[in-house]
Structure 1
């Protein structure tokens, strides 16, 4: 797993084999957490076409859904937490 793009204090785009995951920072008052989306084929195609503009819009949609309590986290790959932290650490050290 590796980070392939970032909008600081907003989101990270992870690549894990052929899969892409957008990890979005959600902040509300003193509480913050992340919501992660596994990109489907249409979303991967939109990212390829529109780049970070698409990811910013998707992150905004995810953030709004989470703040409205309409977000349900889909299952993530085994070891996601540890692997994503390691990937961010490597990304920051580059």
Structure 2
């Protein structure tokens, strides 16, 4: 896994085995959490067309849909792959930050 891009305090974009994963920084009341989704074909095509601005819009949409809320209508509910990739993502961010300091 590697960091492709990031927007400070908003999202990280990772690549892992050809898949693109967006890790959005979200909050619900006093709770801050990350919500990571694997970009589907339509999202990936839109990212390839619109770039970073699309990822910011997508992270915003995830955040405001509150996919972790009990009675949510979020279209992102059930797409969280955070647990599956948490360790790899943490290692990738550490490596990326280390490179930024050099």
> Normalised by the size of structure 2, how large is the TM-score?
0.80
* Alpha-carbon spacing, 1:33–1:78, altered in 2? closer, same or farther (3 Å): closer
Listed as ranges, the gaps of 5+ residues in structure 2 are none
Q: State how far apart, in whole Å, the 2-side matches of 1:34 and 1:79 are.
A: 13
1:74 is paired with a residue of what secondary structure? coil
Asked if the contact 1:35/1:73 (under 8 Å) is kept, the reply is: no
Deviation sequence 1:38-88 (CA, Å, 0-9, x none): 101111111111000100110111001117822424263875111110011
Q: State how far apart, in whole Å, the 1-side matches of 2:83 and 2:62 are.
A: 22
Asked if the contact 1:3/1:14 (under 8 Å) is kept, the reply is: yes
* Alpha-carbon spacing, 1:40–1:28, altered in 2? closer, same or farther (3 Å): same
> Normalised by the size of structure 1, how large is the TM-score?
0.87
Which residue matches 2:66? 66
Deviating above 2 A after TM superposition, structure 1's stretches of 4 or more consecutive aligned residues are 27-30, 67-79
1:83 is paired with a residue of what secondary structure? helix
Number of residue equivalences: 94
Listed as ranges, the gaps of 5+ residues in structure 1 are none
Q: CA RMSD in A?
A: 2.2
- Aligned 1:79-94 pairs, distance under 5 A: 79-94=84-99
Asked if the contact 2:37/2:82 (under 8 Å) is kept, the reply is: no
